[in-house]
Structure formats: C-alpha cells, structure tokens
Structure 1
Amino acid sequence: MRGIFSVTVENRSGVLSKIAGLFARRGFNIEQLTVGETDDPTVSSITIVSEGDDRTMEQIEKQLNKQIDVIKVRHLNALHSIEREGVIIKVNYTRSNRLDIMEICSVIGARIVYMGTQSLVIEYFGEPEMVQSLLLNLRPMGIQEVARTGELALQKEQK
C-alpha cells in the first residue's frame, strides 16, 4: 500500500532532519520527499510518500503527530486529493527520432525547453502516472539525465 502524508511543520532548522530520523529509527522507507515553504514563511509543507501495510501507515501518522514541530498531519486518500509531480529530462536526439520525441511530448503535454546539437531538455508537470509514461516512452531515445521533484499533494475540499 502506498501512503501519501501532507505534513505542516514549523519552518525551523533541523525539523526535516528530525522527520527523516523518525522514519529511519522506525524502519519506515521514504519513497519520495518534497519540502517547501508555504505562503507563511514560518510554516513549511512536507509531502512524504511511503510504502507499507495499513498498520505501517497508521504508525507513520501516529509518530508524525507526536513530533513537537509538526502542526498538522494528513494521510491523503488518492480519491480525495490532487497529486502532481515535476520532471526535467535530457534526452538524446537525432534527425530520425526528433519528430517521435516531439510527438510524445505533444501527446503527454510536455514542453521542449532546450535544444542543443545532440540533446533536448523536456519539462513536464502533471500526474505521477504520466511522468512515468513520459519516461517510459522516452527511454528508447536515450535518456541522459532525469531530475524529479517528488510528488506534491493537497487534499480536495471536504464536503
């Protein structure tokens, strides 16, 4: 089971280290981690993606809630949240595959942001599944480098 946690924390030095240490001490793996300041400079938002069974997800949520610097923890449900991820990909290109790359980008909604003599840099921001699809489709072209943001997630409004 995949768990996504949206954690609001005090924006102070050492908070991220404490959260990561909590996961390490308990033997929980962090699959993805995204951190950024919110609209309030004293508060940061951390999105953590982890794998485990129901009991593990419950333990992660309980342990996060015990942290002093944690303001709020939300265990997000995929049906009730919006998830996005950003990626920048440097891919080899030749005359023979350039149109294929452009077509893949067009279908998925990615943009070519740089064109060198032998490589292109492509950016995409969207659903994590589409990031995977883009990477899978570009792999035969020869991916040189990939930089991913990790998932960002927000809960939809409650009814």
Structure 2
Amino acid sequence: MKHTLSVVVEDESGVLSRVAGLFARRSFNIRSLTVGPAEVDGQSRLTMVVLGDDQALQQMTKQLDKLVNVLQVLNLTQRPTVERELMLLKVAAPAEVRGAIFDLVQVFRARVVDVADEALIVEVVGDPGKLAALERLMTPFGILEIARTGKVALERASGVNTELLKVSSSETQVLA
C-alpha cells in the first residue's frame, strides 16, 4: 500500500541523508520525495510517498520520530489532505496534431510553456490522478520527456475528506 508521510525536520545538512538512509536500511522504497522550507525558519518539510504495509510503516514512523533532527512525523494516508504535484511533459507536436494537444491542455487546465517546430512542453499541476490521466492521453502523440516533482501534501484545515465525497457522489449517481 502507498503511504504519504509529512515529516518536519531541522534544516541542517545531513538530515535528508539520515532520513533516506533509515528507509534504505529497511528495504523501503521511497516512490516520491519532496523537500522545501516549512512555515518556521530553520525547519523543512519532507513529503514522502513510500510503499509498505501498515505495521511496517508504523514501525518506520516510530523510528523516524527517534531521529534527533526530526521534529514531527505525520502519516497523511488516511487523513483528509490537499495533494499536488507538478509535471512537465515534452510532447511530439507536428502541425497536424497541435490543435488536438491544445484542446487537451485546456481541458486539464494545464499550460503550454514552450513551443518548438515539432514539440511542445506542457505544464500541469494537480493531484497525482490528474497527472496520470493527462499523461495517458498524451501518450498517443508521443511523449518525448517527462519530469515530475513528486507529491506535496498538507492535512486539510477544514477536515473535509474530498476522496470520500467523490466516492459518495459516484455511488449516488449509480443509485439514481
């Protein structure tokens, strides 16, 4: 199962290496890792997506908490969150298909950020599902390169779980 962890650490050299090393020593694969300044000077927030069962992840969380420079560990997997990721796609775009690509870009509220004779670079920001959907639809045009930031996530202040709303609204549509 995929788990999303939000880890607040002291902003010091070697902290990221120690956190990543902890996962590597226990054969956990980090699928996504983003790091940036947190809301307090001298602190950084790591957002990690890791694979593993609940019990193993609970043990990893406890071990993370024991690291000296780790200030907070929060498992966001079952919590209401806002998740975003940035993806740049370089797509083959000869003149005859360029209009179709621009149409898809608009539907996904993405942007074309570079235009060349035979290719476009598209920027899209959103939840990982949105990025995967756009990537799948762009594949027939010929994806030349992809760069993704990895997931960033924060727990929702409102406490509203939009994933549950999606499920309940789709169930309501099926019943209607």
TM superposition score normalised by structure 2: 0.86
Per the alignment, residue 56 of structure 2 pairs with 56
Per the alignment, residue 168 of structure 2 pairs with none
Per the alignment, residue 7 of structure 1 pairs with 7
**Amino acid in the other structure paired with 1:139:** T
Over aligned residue pairs, what C-alpha RMSD do you find? 1.3
**Rg larger in structure:** 2
Identity %: 40
Aligned residue pairs total 159
Per the alignment, residue 152 of structure 2 pairs with 152
Q: Please identify which structure carries the higher strand content.
A: 1
Structure-to-structure mapping, 1:64-83, within 5 angstroms: 64-83=64-83
SS in 1 for 2:28: coil
* Counterpart-to-counterpart distance in 1, 2:133 and 2:114: 21
SS in 1 for 2:90: strand
Per the alignment, residue 31 of structure 2 pairs with 31
Per the alignment, residue 93 of structure 2 pairs with 93
* Counterpart-to-counterpart distance in 2, 1:58 and 1:121: 40
Per the alignment, residue 140 of structure 1 pairs with 140
Per the alignment, residue 112 of structure 1 pairs with 112
**Amino acid in the other structure paired with 1:13:** S
Could you list the runs of 5+ residues in structure 1 that have no partner in the other structure?
Answer: none
Say if 2:129 is the partner of 1:126. no
Could you list the runs of 5+ residues in structure 2 that have no partner in the other structure?
Answer: 160-176
TM superposition score normalised by structure 1: 0.95
